[in-house]
Amino acid sequence: MSGKSSDLLYLTLWFCTTNFVKQNQATDSKKNICSTLARDENFTFRAAYWAELHGLLYRALLPNTVLWGHLFLSFSVSDDRTSVRVMAKVIQTDEITEIVGDLLIGADGCLSAIRKYFLPDLKLRYSGYCAWRGVMDFSGNETSDIVMGLRNAYPELGKCIYFDLAPGTHAVLYELRKNRINWMWYVNNPEPELKGNAVTMKVSSDMIEKMHKEAGKIWVPELARLMKETEEPFVNVIYDRNPLERLFWDNVVIIGDAAHPTTPHGLRSTNMSILDAAVLGKCLEKWGSGNVNSALEEFQSIRLPVVSKQVLHSRKMGRIKQGLALPDRKTFDPKSASPEECEELQQKKMPFFTNAPVPVIST
């Protein structure tokens, strides 16, 4: 844990008891209309705050399981392959500390240093587009022009996740609890140069101004205004990676974005990470601490086929929605798409959407 618990308001998706609606719609900013392309009335997902998700996980752990403010530096596997020694820096004191365990689980995100150790030449694949992102807090302004305008243009806000599609681009919009609206806008462009170890890009005021101008040309006025009035919008550069051939080496395993960096269009990257952790936990429980290798074998055999297909499907969905070329179909145009093409936008087309396998545990 780096100790930087992000409060960013992301779309994190879980199964939930109340139904959400998901709507893909074509935007015509000249006529100021949106027409439905695909709609799912039983979209059993919902958005959550990172802080709440982290809190839930943290409270489920035994005290002192989490070492805050420790920066992972390096690791080594013992000669007999039964233990792993990790070196970490305590950020507050700069002290270097050593931690020895049976197993190292690399859950260190899409730029994983642990994955890099085994696959030093592996590069992420730039998707061809970046996402402008922002969250507007309208606490105390619930009846302001902008909020009422949005509620008028997007009448199901609060129980619907809207995907607005225009030729060669798409945007996502939904309301979060506590009076906030989260939006993303995917823009095709050459790969930008990133500084440091991050996939988030610093943006200049010129870039923001240009984004506002473009939004006015592409989106309905209410969405363009939301983008304009959101403080501190930022850019995520979107990457993924062809599926790996393996997820563990001796007693080091990678999970989550470290194991399968993915584009966000499957709306399930967090679910994938959570399921990895759940399946790994079950496998370790099943095989016991004396048989870590068998547990990792089973974990890999269950999760690798699932996450591999999901990463590639998400990539395909991103390319469809961004109007990018695909080998097996013509470029998607929301203005002229056939019903069959629109059906492809449905989230439930994701492989293993409702039936991701779990380990069999005999009782």
Ligand X SMILES: Cc1cc2nc3c(=O)[nH]c(=O)nc-3n(C[C@H](O)[C@H](O)[C@H](O)COP(=O)(O)OP(=O)(O)OC[C@H]3O[C@@H](n4cnc5c(N)ncnc54)[C@H](O)[C@@H]3O)c2cc1C
What residues line the site for ligand X (CB under 6 A)?
1-2, 4, 10-13, 71-72, 107-109, 113, 131, 184, 236, 256-258, 264, 267-271, 273
CA atoms within 13 A on the CB side of 18: 6
Nearer to ligand X, 71 or 312 (CB): 71
Nearer to ligand X, 189 or 289 (CB): 189
Give, to the nearest 10 degrees, the angle between helix 205-218 and helix 221-229: 170
Q: Which residue carries 């619930």 as its tokens?
A: 142
Q: How far is the CB of 362 from ligand X (least distance, A)?
A: 30
Is the CB of residue 60 less than 8 Å from the CB of residue 45?
Answer: no
Nearer to ligand X, 40 or 108 (CB): 108
Q: How far is the CB of 220 from ligand X (least distance, A)?
A: 22
Nearer to ligand X, 44 or 271 (CB): 271
Spatial separation of the C-alpha atoms in residues 103 and 250, rounded to whole Å: 9
Nearer to ligand X, 136 or 184 (CB): 184
Spatial separation of the C-alpha atoms in residues 197 and 203, rounded to whole Å: 16
Is the CB of residue 189 less than 8 Å from the CB of residue 130?
Answer: yes
Residue nearest to ligand X (CB): 256
Q: How far is the CB of 338 from ligand X (least distance, A)?
A: 27
Q: How far is the CB of 198 from ligand X (least distance, A)?
A: 10
Spatial separation of the C-alpha atoms in residues 223 and 211, rounded to whole Å: 12
Spatial separation of the C-alpha atoms in residues 344 and 350, rounded to whole Å: 10
Between β-strands 252-254 and 248-249, what pairing exists: parallel, antiparallel or unpaired?
A: antiparallel
Is the CB of residue 77 less than 8 Å from the CB of residue 118?
Answer: no
**Around Cβ 97, how many Cβ atoms within 10 Å?**
13
Q: How far is the CB of 2 from ligand X (least distance, A)?
A: 4
Nearer to ligand X, 146 or 201 (CB): 201
Q: How far is the CB of 267 from ligand X (least distance, A)?
A: 5
Nearer to ligand X, 225 or 268 (CB): 268
Is the CB of residue 199 less than 8 Å from the CB of residue 8?
Answer: no
Is the CB of residue 225 less than 8 Å from the CB of residue 146?
Answer: yes
Question: Measured in whole angstroms, how far is the alpha carbon of residue 83 from the centre of its chain?
Answer: 32
Spatial separation of the C-alpha atoms in residues 75 and 350, rounded to whole Å: 36
Q: How far is the CB of 339 from ligand X (least distance, A)?
A: 26
Q: How far is the CB of 37 from ligand X (least distance, A)?
A: 19
Nearer to ligand X, 234 or 333 (CB): 234
